[in-house]
């Protein structure tokens, strides 16, 4: 298999252990707005943008006044109470350093909002290595639509067949496949191998991928 020249990176649940806290922030913001939403229900939708999560969880249009108020409150809760507590997954920064050392061009393809994404990248040290990043502000539709992947690919300036996306959710897999890009999955975001069906390889977390990097598709390994 031809060695890739670029990597698109998801951040939440892939490099940073943040999925549970995103779900907590959404659940709290919804509750304050008088909307009852089970944590487990919200948790399974983390990885999609708020434009899709709100209608699915509560039947609320994200662009409505109520939807925008809930999203704003969710952002306030997450950034002030949860984000300062976030930690990177083991091996996250070291994995990015290895990829960069191997000559791979790195870009971020995230459904997070731009300001929030900037802080998340600092949490895992990714800001030292990435050459481009796209957020929800750069795409009309969030994951699992491929808009964000297309935008990141364009910024990276690589052809789809030479790029691999590293992600943790079924929505990363779906968005990547729609964009014609291979995807490698990690389980640390809370999804199983069955949930990540379609990924060419699946690892426990960044540290696991780093330990087996030479056999991975990032090094031109199997598949």
Q: Which of 32-46, 121-135, 208-222 has the highest mean pLDDT?
A: 32-46
Q: Which residue has the higher pLDDT, 157 or 28?
A: 28
Contacts of 65 (CB under 8 A, 6+ apart): none
Domain ranges of the chain: 6-17+87-219, 19-84
| pLDDT, tens digit, 9 for 90 and up, residues 166-202 | 999 999 999 999 999 999 999 999 999 999 999 999 9
Give the model's confidence band at 222: pLDDT under 50 very low, under 70 low, under 90 confident, else very high.
Answer: low
| pLDDT, tens digit, 9 for 90 and up, residues 57-113 | 999 999 999 999 999 999 999 999 999 999 999 999 999 999 999 999 999 998 788
3-state secondary structure at position 185: strand
Decide: 41 and 136 in contact? Cβ < 8 Å: no
Would you state the pLDDT for residue 132? Answer: 81
Domain covering 6-17+87-219 assigned CATH 3.40.50.980 in the classification: no
Would you state the pLDDT for residue 173? Answer: 97
What is the overall mean pLDDT for the chain?
A: 94
Would you state the pLDDT for residue 1? Answer: 59
Contacts of 50 (CB under 8 A, 6+ apart): 62, 67, 71, 74, 136, 142
CA distance 212 to 40: 32
How many beta carbons lie within 10 A of that of residue 100, not counting itself?
A: 16
Residue 142 has pLDDT above 90, yes or no: no
Would you state the pLDDT for residue 223? Answer: 55
User: Which tokens hold the place of 48?
Assistant: 């999609």
Identify the weakest region by mean pLDDT among 6-15, 68-77, 125-134: 125-134
Instruction: Report the Cα 185 to chain-centroid distance in Å.
Output: 11
Handedness of CA 158, 161, 167, 171 (dihedral sign): positive
């Amino acid at each position: 298999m031809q060695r890739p020249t670029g990597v698109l990176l998801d951040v939440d649940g892939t490099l940073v252990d943040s999925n549970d806290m995103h779900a907590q922030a959404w659940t709290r913001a919804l509750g304050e707005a008088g909307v009852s939403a089970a944590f487990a229900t919200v948790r399974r939708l983390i990885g999609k943008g708020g434009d899709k999560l709100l209608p699915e969880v509560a039947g609320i249009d994200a662009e409505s006044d109520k939807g925008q108020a809930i999203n704003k409150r969710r952002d306030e809760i997450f950034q002030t109470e949860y984000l300062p507590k976030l930690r990177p997954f083991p091996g996250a920064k070291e994995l990015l350093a290895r990829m960069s050392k191997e000559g791979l061009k790195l870009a971020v393809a995230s459904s997070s909002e731009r300001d929030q994404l900037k802080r998340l990248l600092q949490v895992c040290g990714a800001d030292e290595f990435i050459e481009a990043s796209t957020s929800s502000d750069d795409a009309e539709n969030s994951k699992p639509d491929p808009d964000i992947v297309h935008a990141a690919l364009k910024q990276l300036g690589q052809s789809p067949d030479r790029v691999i996306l590293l992600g943790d959710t079924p929505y990363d897999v779906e968005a990547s496949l729609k964009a014609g890009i291979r995807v490698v999955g990690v389980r640390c975001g809370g999804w199983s191998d069955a949930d990540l069906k379609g990924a060419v390889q699946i690892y426990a977390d960044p540290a696991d991928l780093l330990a087996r990097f030479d056999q991975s598709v990032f090094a031109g390994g199997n598949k």
